[in-house]
Amino acid sequence: MREEFPGWHGTTIIGVKKDGKVVIAGDGQVSLGQTVIKGTARKVRRISPGGSDVVCGFAGSTADAFTLLERLEAKLEATPGQLARGCVELAKDWRTDKYLQKLEAMLIVSDGAQMFVITGAGDVLEPEHDVTAIGSGGNYALAAARGLMEADLTAEEIARKAMAIAADICVYTNGNLTVETIGA
């Protein structure tokens, strides 16, 4: 993040894949420095490029994330049904385009079968253990979800419990969730 501006800080987004379903959940808190500006932001969205269904969650600058979501949607329209290819194409552009390089955000995306984390460093990561998380509370949510994966819980129950744990620990995360499910 740029040093001269405190920036919109913090969020937690989690993706959980279990029993043929993928759940992406995100908290609603937006902070500027140490001040909570909004508690009901929607950081998890559904996009429908070319008639397919994709769920995306973002952490980082909202304007930057929406720019990336628009670019991702265009990539997926050009490569219908090929989530991995669309994500790689976005990551290539993000890494090489001088305008996009300045964007400060991360994405978790899923079509219900695959789930990826896309970063500005050019990474397209498929998570191990069918769970991933990003944002300031991401490590807390990730650890909680990994611990819950063996329990007799649905993907949504795991995501909700993990987000509750992250919200209890991370001051930049609240319990006001947006939850989207995709898959069988």
Task: Give the residue numbers annotated as catalytic, written as ranges.
Answer: 11
| C-alpha distances in Å from residue 48, one per residue of 1, 12, 81, 103, 151 | 30, 23, 11, 23, 32
Tokens of 126: 């498929």
Rounded to a whole number of angstroms, the distance between the first and last alpha carbons of the chain is 38
Using an 8 Å Cβ cutoff, are 10 and 17 in contact?
no
Phi, psi at 117, each rounded to 5°: -110, 130
As a whole number of angstroms, the distance between CA 105 and CA 53 comes to 22
| C-alpha distances in Å from residue 50, one per residue of 68, 80, 83, 95, 116 | 17, 6, 12, 25, 19
Residue listed under structure tokens 């969650």:
57
Using an 8 Å Cβ cutoff, are 105 and 1 in contact?
no
